[in-house]
Structure 1
């Protein structure tokens, strides 16, 4: 590997495959983000402190060394797909051949009939089919690799779609420790997102309450996990066949711990803006990556509809009583490591822009030159409210030594 120069580079966004639908993603305003980072970047690592969908890793992977960090494991997997690339990936034919054998074996052992969603049924019949699949959560599966079939059949995905998710996930495990592993999981997350009957996240799935909603859900039940996975895996290999290898880092740490492990970096921070916790919206992605058979949250003696993992991460940036302190800790960590900072926030955040500026001035002190960039932007809500997107003013707080 050639030694990478720490001299300053003019950064720009590269083309990269997008793997998940992500609330608040900066992919649509990546040029604005690059403008802010360029204004404070002095060479060396760019640390993406709250990487999320890891879009910054995809955009910068061939230009500078990136330190991608997020406390969620799925984010680290996507970052590895972008940053730890290979010239030789496992062939798609080999993956699908193995998955097909696993799917066939598990399908034959399933005690309920797999519904053909091309058949016309009444609304009542449809809901009985969905309910039967949802009841699989109470079935005692003997195999290790039937987690999604057990926990998620008849929710965001049909039982047959879950069988395929489990099968591809089992195949991925055969390549753990290789770049193929990260790409298989990332392409699987893409297939999960685009075959899901939800709105792009996994907070709650839709019920068929009307003929119209039944027909709409059926459209997604017919979608092939294998086809979505195959297309994304093949197209991603073409985009990720990088020649230059840089000394990238990927960590899954709390933001404060990550800041303790950097030095003289340029930090890009994109913390949560609102009161909802991302771990609620993307718990299924965390589960497919970790595949750790988590306990499902129970309320009132019943599994919650969202089928969330117990003990999900709760970000202080999404808690009203903790958000000011969280920002203070962020600014303190930047100052103590003598790093520069580009911080994304909006005028719809948990605290006001004026308060963020006040905290930055207090914690960073007079050694830092502070500036503010703004842009009008439509923020994706992924169905959390009646409006699918809202006009917000996106801000970049820039702090440079």
Structure 2
């Protein structure tokens, strides 16, 4: 029993807190922009299910704390269906009901009768809030920690690896990949991870000479406390500082921290879309995609790593907080990206419908919405099943059950 409680504290509780926090910020984005445009809101809930706490304010908005901590939601007055994009017949029915119950003046307070550009901004505010949250967290991190740059110096070359075959040697300094300059080890690692089976040309400084080496990353199975069992692209290079000039550190003022945070966020977004693009063209297996189980395992791994050092409790707590801020920023970016996908059940699908409405001057027909909604559900379910399959593979569950992994 004690062991289960410990595992729950390490894996389940951090995951639920993280998910609820990020989803609440997402829904708060919808809520704040909607209220700025005068939209009537029935409820803002943190968590789902029966209310543990509930209060209705003077504007008639119910503020609720649900007993299931799996995110939250905002409910606009007059929502008719799950897609929140009724067709013309649905709009006419809703308008008649609102006029009958509250009078003609009340119509302008309902989300569905706002101009299409306002509805689009309200919908886009959710994912944009996730990006804004990530930027705030990354800026805070860079303000507290500063910037540490480690040069891409080769410390060791794995025997029998593509790097060894290409002729890499310890103390080589990588200065460019495929002609693109690199100054940090993380840039080299990121490029290799996204280049499985694609030959890469490395420009290397060796002593006083410039050497060109070609190596092709290959996928290999790795076990990681945070990511679990994954196949990732490697060339067999171990990077690390070998002399004082290989690393530098500087404190960042608030403006520099914002810029560095924005750069980091853009890097995560571009890396994610590059990886997704490689999946669609068959160059990646999607092994790095995570579902709820994978995020929960990663949350637990982050917790364990943050408290693994021998240090005073105050230092461990600070390290845990900073580590979780970084993890929350990355998950928040992921949530923003997923919600912008053009799938009807997501914010991106709503924006797609509003784009049609802006051009055609009428909502998407009900039949088309229904088909789109079903296809969207199927796509989303497929994506979640695929990600969950990856999670189970990484957790070695199938190996435990009979060696299927």
Quick check: which has more Rg, 1 or 2? 2
TM-score > 0.5, shorter chain as reference: no
Q: TM-score range by the shorter chain?
A: under 0.3
Give the structure-1-normalised TM-score: 0.24
Greater share of strand:
2
